[in-house]
């Protein structure tokens, strides 16, 4: 694997700078997407139990990875995530083993705590009361972290990390950790550049991964008339200059500032295009231009309607991460 196409995590593992995202990749499409990705050179797949498609991802991995197949297991970096209903320390190992079974793997390269907020234990993804509100649990993420560390000790996962944690919450975990978090995976794109969180991650040796790096145009709650990140005229102008697409400029910007990206696509031509970001570099001025598009716009926060207003669904959870400035 080419050196500039990977970053080295605090564990010493090399993680490819572009991975295939799989959230919303529908049944009947995701297997083909993973096969296309592996066949055109992806060596990193971003999964999660909550996406409900790990079995199909596993079907694709089984066709390409392992003894007698094109790829050795060590050549592919696979991430999965522990869902909010599985934070209780007694549930963590079973949740990890269930993802492993679905993905047909014997270990994960990286296992993330999907959100700092714990929900009520059980099999329902979104445990709700009759009035529709989500049932929380008071399990603290530090208790969950200890159970995550045991997975490393057992060899079920090579590295553990966080997702959607604020800098303060990351520091809590780092302060108590036997195995430090290798990654914090957070929403990040030119409209939410996360400069402060990135600088904090760098200072504590945590790799930042950008989720929804293309602005998540297919998120279920996107409105039809909202301005799309990839249609931003400034990005368009930069893309034209380099004879690249807006998506490639956005991904290149991340890679060049040391941020790993996991763009999702089920379209073979886009899957291929999104990996082709290591054959050009943006000038300092263009890097600044992309950075200047930041407007603190978060797309991935569940919202609900209350008293006629759209509000953050989980704002009252004691570990809701987005009250912190970063
Ligand atoms: P995204 O990758 O920002 O955007 C996906 C959308 O962009 C899809 O509609 C896709 O369409 C389209 N697209 C992909 N490549 C394109 C290109 N080259 N040109 C134009 N359009 C393109 O959104 P995301 O799925 O929200 O985020 C990516 C991944 O991050 C997820 O799949 C998941 O693995 C991870 N994630 C993690 C969390 C977390 O809490 N940790 C949250 C959100 C996402 P087609 O598929 O139709 O090609």
The pLDDT averaged over each successive group of 10 residues in the chain (326 residues) is: 76 98 97 98 98 98 97 98 98 98 98 98 95 94 98 98 98 98 98 98 98 97 92 98 98 98 98 97 98 97 90 95 97
Nearest residue (by CA) to ligand 1, atom 24, is 212
- 113 DSSP β-pair partners: 82, 162
Nearest residue (by CA) to ligand 1, atom 4, is 216
Q: What is the pLDDT of residue 269?
A: 98
The dihedral sign for the CA sequence 104, 110, 115, 120: positive
Q: What is the pLDDT of residue 42?
A: 98
Q: What is the pLDDT of residue 3?
A: 38
Tokens (6 digits) for 223: 């409105």
Please return the burial class of 308, using the count of CB atoms within 10 Å of its CB with bins 0-12, 13-18 and 19+.
Answer: exposed
Verdict on whether the full-model pTM lies above 0.75: yes
Are 185 and 211 in contact, with CB atoms under 8 Å apart? Answer: yes
| Ligand 1 lining (C-beta closer than 6 Å) | 21-24, 46, 114, 163-164, 185, 211-219, 230, 245, 247, 262-267, 270, 273-274, 300
Nearest residue (by CA) to ligand 1, atom 29, is 21
Please report the atom of ligand 1 found closest to the CA of residue 271: 15
CA of 75 relative to ligand 1 center, distance in Å: 23
Question: Looking at the chain, which runs of residues are DSSP E strands?
Answer: 6-8, 14-16, 20-21, 44-46, 77-82, 110-113, 160-163, 183-187, 207-211, 260-261, 303-306, 309-312
CA of 179 relative to ligand 1 center, distance in Å: 30
Write the DSSP symbol of residue 302: -
CA of 176 relative to ligand 1 center, distance in Å: 33
**Mutation test of ligand 1: which of 16, 22, 23 has the most ligand atoms closer than 8 Å to its C-beta?**
23
Please report the atom of ligand 1 found closest to the CA of residue 270: 18
Catalytic residues, by residue number, are 51
Calpha distance 282→264 (Å, rounded): 23
Q: What is the pLDDT of residue 132?
A: 86
CA of 169 relative to ligand 1 center, distance in Å: 26
Are 289 and 298 in contact, with CB atoms under 8 Å apart? Answer: no
Strands 303-306 and 309-312: antiparallel
């Amino acid at each position: 694997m080419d050196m500039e196409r990977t970053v080295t995590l605090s564990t010493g593992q090399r993680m490819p700078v572009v991975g295939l995202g799989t959230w919303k990749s529908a049944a009947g499409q995701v297997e083909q997407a993973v096969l296309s990705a592996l066949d055109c050179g992806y060596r990193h797949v971003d999964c999660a139990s909550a996406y409900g498609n790990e079995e199909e991802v596993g079907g694709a991995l089984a066709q390409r990875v392992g003894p007698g197949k094109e790829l050795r297991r060590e050549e592919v970096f696979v991430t999965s995530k522990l869902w909010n209903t599985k934070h209780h320390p007694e549930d963590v190992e079973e949740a990890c083993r269930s993802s492993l079974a679905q993905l047909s793997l014997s270990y994960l390269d990286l296992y993330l705590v999907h959100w700092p907020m714990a929900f009520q234990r059980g099999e329902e993804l979104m445990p709700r009361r009759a009035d529709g509100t989500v049932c929380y649990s008071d399990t603290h993420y530090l208790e969950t972290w200890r159970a995550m560390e045991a997975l490393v000790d057992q060899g079920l996962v090579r590295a553990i990390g966080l997702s959607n944690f604020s800098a303060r919450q990351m520091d809590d975990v780092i302060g108590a950790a036997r195995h430090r978090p290798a990654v914090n995976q957070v929403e990040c794109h030119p409209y939410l550049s996360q400069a402060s969180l990135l600088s904090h991650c760098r200072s504590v040796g945590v790799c930042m991964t950008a989720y929804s790096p293309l602005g998540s145009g297919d998120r279920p709650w996107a409105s039809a008339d909202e301005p799309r990140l990839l249609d931003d005229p400034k990005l368009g102008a930069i893309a034209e200059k380099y004879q690249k697409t807006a998506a490639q400029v956005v991904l290149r910007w991340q890679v060049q500032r040391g941020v790993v990206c996991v763009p999702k696509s089920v379209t073979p031509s886009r899957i291929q295009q999104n990996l082709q970001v290591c054959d050009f570099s943006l000038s300092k001025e263009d890097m600044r231009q992309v950075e200047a598009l930041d407007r603190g716009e978060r797309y991935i926060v569940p919202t609900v309607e209350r008293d006629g207003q759209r509000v953050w669904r989980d704002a009252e959870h004691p570990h809701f991460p987005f009250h912190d400035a970063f």
